[in-house]
Amino acid sequence: GSAAGAISLDTAGGNIVLRGATLIATGGSGAGAGAAGSILFKDAVELEAAASTATIGGAAATPAALIDFQSSVNGAQALTVAAGESGNIDFDAAVGGTTRTGAITVQSGNVVTFRSSLTAASFTQNAGASDGSTHFDRVIDLTGGFSSNSHTPDFDATGPRTVGGTMTDTTTAGG
Q: What is the pLDDT of residues 43-102, one digit of tens each?
A: 999 999 889 998 887 544 456 688 999 999 999 999 999 988 788 999 999 999 999 999
What pLDDT does 32 receive?
A: 58
| Structural contact between residues 107 and 128, judged by C-beta atoms closer than 8 angstroms | no
Closest CA to 75 of 7, 17, 141, 33: 17
Top-confidence residue, 136 or 3: 136
What pLDDT does 27 receive?
A: 67
What pLDDT does 130 receive?
A: 66
Query: Rounded to an integer, what distance in angstroms lies between the CA atom of residue 110 and that of residue 81?
Result: 12
Query: Rounded to an integer, what distance in angstroms lies between the CA atom of residue 54 and that of residue 56?
Result: 7
